[in-house]
Amino acid sequence: MSCSKKVDLSGVFPPITTPFQENEEIAWDKLGENMDKWNNIAFGGYVVHGSNGEYPYLSADEKIEMVRRVKEMAPKGKVIMAGAGCESTRDTIDMCNKMADAGADCVLVITPSYYKGAMTSAALQQHYTKVADASSVPVVLYSVPANTTIDLAPDAIISLSKHPNIIGLKESGGDISKIGNLLHKTQRDEFQILAGSAGFLLPSLMLGAVGGVCALANVLGDQVVQLHALYKEGKMDEALELQRKLIAPNGMVTRGHGVPGLKATLDWYGYYGGPLRSPLQPVSQSAADIIKQSFNASGFNP
C-alpha cells in the first residue's frame, strides 16, 4: 500500500494552531479567517496537528476534519503535512491513511512515548517501517524531545531514511551538530530535513536542510519566509541579522511559553489565537508582558 511519491518539503511551514470557542469546540470560522491571512504569505505549505495544534487533545474525527478543511482553504500547490502519530503502530497506520483520504500530501509521525523505557531504537525503527510500509502517502519522521522526552536516535534516522516511503525528518531537538551529522549521513535527494524551529533555521539551512516547520511563522510568517529567501539568495549578512533578531521571540512561543504563549501572540498580531483546550491554561498577564517585551526588543512590535 505504501507510496513513494515525491513531496517537496522545501520552504517554511507554520504548524498552525487549532482555534477554539470559549466552550472549547473548534471555531471553524476563525480557522478560515486565519487561513485567509496565512494564504497571503509565501509558505511552502501547512503543518496541521503539529505540537502547536493541540493534537493530543483532539478527537480522531476533529483531527481528520481539520485536515480536510485546511486542504480546502489552502491555495493549490501548497503541501499539507498532517500529524498522524498515535501510541500504537496500528492506530498510527489507520490515522495516516485517514489523513491521506482527507487531503494530506504527507504525514508527520511523532515518536510514541507513553512506554518511554521500551522505545528503543529497534522498537522505533520497527514502528516507523511498518507505518511507512502501510501508509498511502509519504511519511516524515518527527523528533520533539521537549514534549516526548524521546530523542529519535541518529542510527535509527539514518536507517529509516533508506525507506522509499520515508521522505524526511522534522528535527525539533535543536542540536545543530546532530542535524549536521544526519545531513552528512543521509545525503540523497529523496530524504529532506526540516528545522523544527525558527531559532535554528539559518544554521540548519547552511548545513543542507530544505526548510523549517516553525511555530513563530504563525505570527511572523513574512519574516521567517524572508529568512529562508535571504539564504537562498546568498544574502548572508542580512540573513544572519534577521536570524539573530528572531531567536528571542521564537524562544518565547516555543520552549518558553509554548502554545499558550503562541495563542496570546496570535491575538496581538491580528490573527485569532483564542482559548486553549483544557487542561492547558492561558498565559498570565506577567508572562504576556514578558513575551511582548521580547518581541518589541527585537523590533517586531505587535
Catalytic residues: 170
Query: In 10 A of CB 266, how many CB atoms?
Result: 21
How far is Cα 246 from Cα 103, in angstroms, rounded to an integer?
A: 32
Residue 69 phi, psi dihedral angles, 5° rounding? -70, -40
Question: For residue 126, what is its C-alpha cell?
Answer: 520497527
How far is Cα 148 from Cα 14, in angstroms, rounded to an integer?
A: 20
How far is Cα 273 from Cα 268, in angstroms, rounded to an integer?
A: 9
Cα–Cα nearest to 109, from 120, 96, 122: 96
- The C-alpha angle 277, 94, 169, rounded to 5 degrees, equals 75
Residue 182 phi, psi dihedral angles, 5° rounding? -65, -40
Q: In what order do the strands lie in the sheet with 11-13?
A: 11-13, 211-213, 192-195, 166-171, 139-143, 106-110, 79-83, 45-48, 15-16
Question: For residue 56, what is its C-alpha cell?
Answer: 493530543
Query: In 10 A of CB 116, how many CB atoms?
Result: 11
Please check whether residue 168 is in contact with residue 9, taking contact to mean a CB–CB distance below 8 angstroms.
yes
- The C-alpha angle 243, 246, 249, rounded to 5 degrees, equals 160
